[in-house]
């Protein structure tokens, strides 16, 4: 698990893949970590193995796999058959179950107000994901405040459009930045 954190520390830009056209670009880029934000039950295994064969880490977003159940059996299947480096989910029950199964877990939080901020803090303390992703990623002051309250590594994601966006969130404590814009993958 520390290898994953070290890998993101060394290369904090994470390719957020939303469609099949971006897979090749991500594989050719210098990113070492890929968040797979699209897939279905027919292509998931192939995509994960292709990414891993390119010596890149891959995290599957459980909430975005088309055609797969959203229960614990889906997590068992992904863990035992697909074998990504870890999962991403907004669902606390997914994170808790996957972590108990030994998977590296990243819980995604959408911070829209102080209530969602406080809920995220409480959830992280009780569910204990390995890492969290905070969205939108363009809120450096909030990311700094969150990193002061929690010991879990933070990924910033969403609405990241420029190199300056990346630099500003890394400066305030984000471990990495998930970015969908392909031209930012090789910074």
Distance CA 42, CA 79 (A): 16
**CATH code, domain with 76:** 3.20.20.70
Per-residue pLDDT of the chain (187 residues; tens, 9 = 90+): 779 999 999 999 999 999 999 999 999 999 999 999 999 999 999 999 999 999 999 999 999 999 988 899 999 999 999 999 999 999 999 999 999 999 999 999 999 999 999 999 999 999 999 999 999 999 999 999 999 999 999 999 999 999 999 999 999 999 999 999 999 999 8
Cis peptide before 63 (omega within 30 of 0): no
**How many structural domains comprise the chain?**
1
Residues 71/46, Cβ–Cβ less than 8 Å: no
Which residues is 16 bridged to in the sheet? 35
| Domain of residue 10, residue span | 2-184
């Amino acid at each position: 698990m520390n290898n994953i954190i070290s890998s993101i520390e060394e290369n904090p830009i994470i390719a957020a893949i939303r469609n099949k056209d971006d897979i090749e670009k991500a594989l050719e880029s210098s990113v070492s970590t890929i968040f797979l934000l699209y897939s279905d039950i027919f292509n998931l295994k192939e995509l994960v193995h292709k990414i891993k064969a390119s010596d890149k880490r891959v995290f599957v977003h459980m909430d975005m796999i088309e055609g797969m159940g959203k229960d614990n059996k889906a997590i068992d299947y992904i863990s035992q058959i697909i074998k990504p480096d870890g999962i991403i989910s907004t669902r606390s029950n997914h994170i808790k179950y996957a972590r108990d199964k030994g998977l590296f877990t990243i819980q995604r939080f959408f911070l829209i107000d102080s209530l969602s901020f406080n809920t995220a803090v409480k959830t992280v303390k009780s569910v204990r994901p390995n890492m969290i992703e905070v969205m939108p990623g363009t809120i450096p002051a909030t990311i700094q405040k969150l990193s002061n309250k929690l010991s879990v590594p933070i990924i910033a994601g969403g609405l990241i459009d420029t190199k300056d966006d990346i630099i500003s969130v890394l400066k305030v404590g984000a471990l990495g930045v998930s970015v969908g814009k392909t031209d930012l993958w090789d910074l």
